[in-house]
Chains A and B, each alone.
Chain A
Amino acid sequence: DTGVSQDPRHKITKRGQNVTFRCDPISEHNRLYWYRQTLGQGPEFLTYFQNEAQLEKSRLLSDRFSAERPKGSFSTLEIQRTEQGDSAMYLCASSLAPTGGQQFFGPGTRLTVL
């Protein structure tokens, strides 16, 4: 049984460029979550899906961020026109609902915007 995987693990980009991250959840999990974590802080919720439906999106998420989960399996998170403030670790997690909410996390994608 493989865990949650994320690709790439590291991404360095220049300000203004677009980036896309991929997350592959645990295969039978119907929920998929995206979080962002900056240095010295706890993860901050961005958005989540149940199957292919996006059920909630953080009000803190700007319009430059978009996420998809087209077939209810893997998900992509795109950031357009990156800014230096977007530099962070982007975490993906998955869970099986309804089972009490335990989420399994991937290793994260570390984004550095120069």
Chain B
Amino acid sequence: AQSVTQLGSHVSVSEGALVLLRCNYSSSVPPYLFWYVQYPNQGLQLLLKYTTGATLVKGINGFEAEFKKSETSFHLTKPSAHMSDAAEYFCAVSDRGNQGGKLIFGQGTELSVKP
């Protein structure tokens, strides 16, 4: 069975600092990998995804993530945090063999950005 672990339920950074949100997955075969962001009282918005090809994936709002098969990781980074990045971030996986199918989410990481 697939599972996702996000290390750290809450991360706090200063504005302009590096953002690093960690995600590790467990799956018998490399799955599709996603990062979603959820702002207060809003739906989930896709930041980026990895399906195939280049393992460094660039997304919206300056975020990127790197798929590392050997480490079963898909960590999310942003070089310089902005106040507007404060939100809840979810890592998710889905079954490659089912052309996607259901998403399995991690428990989420709340990002706070200090001025």
Instruction: List A residues at the B interface (Cβ < 8 Å).
Output: 4, 31, 33, 35, 40-45, 48, 56, 91, 93, 95, 97-108
B108, A98: Cβ atoms closer than 8 Å: no
Report chain A residues within 8 Å CB of B44: 43, 91, 93, 105
Report chain A residues within 8 Å CB of B103: 33, 35, 43, 45, 93, 101, 103
Most chain A CB within 10 A, of B34, B102, B104, B108, is at B102
Report chain B residues within 8 Å CB of A33: 102-103
Report chain A residues within 8 Å CB of B36: 105
Given contacts A93-B103, A101-B103, A105-B44, 6 further A-B contacts (CB under 8 A): A40-B9, A40-B108, A43-B105, A44-B105, A93-B44, A103-B46
Report the bound CA distance from A31 to B107 in whole Å. 24
The range of chain B's interface size is 20 to 34
What are 8 A-B pairs with beta-carbon distances under 8 A?
A: A35-B103, A41-B108, A42-B90, A43-B90, A56-B102, A95-B100, A98-B99, A102-B46
Report the bound CA distance from A104 to B94 in whole Å. 14
Q: What number of A-B contacts does a CB cutoff of 8 Å give?
A: 70
Smallest Cβ distance from A88 to chain B, in angstroms?
Answer: 14
Label chain B's interface by main secondary structure. strand
When C-beta atoms are compared, the residue in chain B nearest to A56 turns out to be B102
Interface string of B66-97 (1 = CB under 8 A from A): 00000000000000000000000010101000
Interface string of B1-38 (1 = CB under 8 A from A): 00010000100000000000000000000001010100
Known A42-B90, A43-B103, A101-B100; contact A107-B32, beta-carbon cutoff 8 A:
no
B45 sits at the interface (CB 8 A): yes
Smallest Cβ distance from B11 to chain A, in angstroms?
Answer: 15
Report chain B residues within 8 Å CB of A105: 36, 43-45
Smallest Cβ distance from A27 to chain B, in angstroms?
Answer: 18
B32, A100: Cβ atoms closer than 8 Å: yes
When C-beta atoms are compared, the residue in chain A nearest to B36 turns out to be A105
Report chain B residues within 8 Å CB of A95: 100
